[in-house]
Amino acid sequence: MDRGMADFDLVVIGSGPAGEQGAAHAARLGKRVAVVEREPVLGGTAANTGTLPSKTLRETALYLSGYRARGLFGIETTLRREATVSDLLYRERRVKVVERERITMNLERHGVEVVQGHGSFLDAHTVLVRREGHPERRLTAGSILIATGSSPYRPPLYPFGDPRVHDSDELLELAELPRALMVVGAGVIGCEYACMFAALGIPVTLVDVKPELLSFLDDEFSGLLRERMVALGVTMRLGYSVESIHVPEKNAEPIRLTLSGGDVLEVDQVLVASGRSANTSGLGLEAVGIKPGQRGHLEVGPTYQTAVPHIYAVGDVIGFPALASTAMEQARVAVLHAFGKAQALAPVLPYGIYTIPEVSMAGETEKALIAKGVPYVVGRAGYITNARGQIIGEGRGQLKLLFHRESLKLLGVHVLGEQASELVHIGLVALVSGAGAQLFVETCFNYPTLSEMYKTATYNALQELNGSSSNFLP
């Protein structure tokens, strides 16, 4: 198709983080851009049912429970008052409204046209948009970006029609707080919600067929997180699957779930967090030569091109890591490539898990370095030995740095504790820039701050080298 004859240079399907950023980047290049959104509000899962709402609920749970203040002033605090669903969701609703307004203003500022309705491919260069009560629109474009996100996967075992059985999106519509909750699936979403409800003093059981917690984490930090979650009140049943579920008609009677091994557990509400499926159904992809894979995911190359070169896909629709942060970067790279300004994705991406406490990482794990045969040295710093850590009462958090044993180049950073998802970025920038121990030794950090732990952990690593630190230590 002649790009000059098309209605737009780029049509984006989906207005979540990937779609918004992809559209904005194209508009900055002076391109004509349209965004198609099937929902009545902008923002996708991230703004409306996933990322921001869940993180807002986490902060609300921490506030209502007094978790951060426990023992801080020589007294133990309990739930400040009887928390209701309205208490939990008030701030969540406000955050959603503000974020939707921000997205709308951002797209308007960049001159992006928003088209409401369900978009599907009429042909490889045409998106047909249907909206009830409105005439159809055909949007032609030289390039198309698929950023339709994902939805919770619903295993057929569970009766989701019952108001006591939820997927992770429905959890925002709770009629009442559970008296006892089972979370099925110990992935990121399952772990985050398990911590949130446990912080409120609600008995939570976490079940997963995998024997380890978040296996992509460094093994040490997976173990530390498990210890902290158990201390918070989460009962772990890892290495088990749910074989059957009985949901009685009367709400007063408990739900009974039978695990592999025969144990029967009783709860009054169930959250099923068994992964997500890409929102690719109904897009008409097969008609243009794109075949979705398992759970609807699309296969793409390093520049996020699908089997049809001018059609790109980013974010949850292409699978792991399915994070808002990575989705936005993928969209930037895809759009730049589409308009002849090729740029690779950053070589290192961070992972942030908003459990209680937070866990975050970037770069290599010890297991990965051992598998690759890379010589390394570990440097550690505990929140307990840090002045700011003492002030905020975070006694069991930890920062772990992995350096190349010979060059002392930073290879990996792992953080567990308050503000871990913020603290990791210091190490991330060092990883991206190829810096190492010398950077942290020579950097002056504010005092008292958690950031000082980078210097402490670096000195700890140098001391482990038994004399190799003579060029670095003062």
pLDDT tens digits in sequence order for the chain, 474 residues long: 655 678 999 999 999 999 999 999 999 999 999 999 999 889 887 777 777 778 888 888 887 777 766 555 554 555 544 556 667 777 788 888 899 999 999 999 999 999 999 999 999 999 999 999 999 999 999 999 999 999 999 999 999 999 999 999 888 778 788 999 999 999 999 999 999 999 988 999 999 999 999 999 999 999 999 999 999 999 999 999 999 999 998 878 999 999 998 999 999 999 999 999 999 999 999 989 999 998 999 999 999 999 999 999 999 999 988 889 999 999 999 999 999 987 888 889 999 999 999 999 999 999 999 999 999 999 999 999 999 999 988 889 999 999 999 999 999 999 999 999 999 999 999 999 999 999 999 999 999 999 999 999 999 999 999 754 444 443
**Using one digit for the tens of pLDDT, what is the confidence trace for 82-131?**
556 667 777 788 888 899 999 999 999 999 999 999 999 999 999 999 99
Cα–Cα–Cα angle for 217, 328, 285, nearest 5°? 100
Written as six digits, the tokens of 177 are 């707080």
**Using one digit for the tens of pLDDT, what is the confidence trace for 128-173?**
999 999 999 999 999 999 999 999 999 999 999 999 999 998 887 7
- Asked if 151 and 279 count as a contact pair (C-beta separation under 8 A), the reply is yes
User: What is the rounded distance in angstroms from the CA atom of residue 113 to the CA atom of residue 18?
Assistant: 16
Q: State the sign of the Cα–Cα–Cα–Cα dihedral 156, 157, 162, 163.
A: negative
**E strand or H helix at 463:** helix 453-464
DSSP character string of 182-217: EEE--SHHHHHHHHHHHHTT--EEEEESSSSSSTTS
Among 193, 276, 206, 197, CA closest to 239: 206
Domain 3-151+277-338 has CATH 3.40.50.2000: no
Domain boundaries, the chain: 3-151+277-338, 165-274, 357-471
User: What is the rounded distance in angstroms from the CA atom of residue 3 to the CA atom of residue 10?
Assistant: 10
- Asked if 296 and 149 count as a contact pair (C-beta separation under 8 A), the reply is no
**E strand or H helix at 24:** helix 17-28
Question: SS3 sequence, 221-246?
Answer: HHHHHHHHHHHHCEEEEECCCEEEEE
Q: Which one is the CATH code of 357-471: 3.30.300.30, 3.30.390.30, 3.30.2320.30, 3.40.50.2000?
A: 3.30.390.30
Among 171, 137, 134, 167, CA closest to 151: 167
User: What is the rounded distance in angstroms from the CA atom of residue 101 to the CA atom of residue 186?
Assistant: 33
Written as six digits, the tokens of 448 are 């008292």
Whole-prediction pTM: 0.90
Is residue 26 classed as helix, strand or coil in its secondary structure? Answer: helix
Q: How far is CA 183 from CA 13, 274, 300, in A?
A: 32, 10, 32
What is the separation of C-alpha 225 from the centre of its chain, rounded to a whole number of angstroms?
17
At residue 166, what are phi and psi to the nearest 5 degrees? -120, 150
Which residue is it, tokens 């709770």? 174
66: left (phi over 0), alpha (psi -120 to 50) or beta: left
What is the separation of C-alpha 307 from the centre of its chain, rounded to a whole number of angstroms?
27
Among 327, 342, 315, 358, CA closest to 229: 358
CATH fold of 165-274 reads FAD/NAD(P)-binding domain (3.50.50)
Same fold, 3-151+277-338 and 165-274: yes
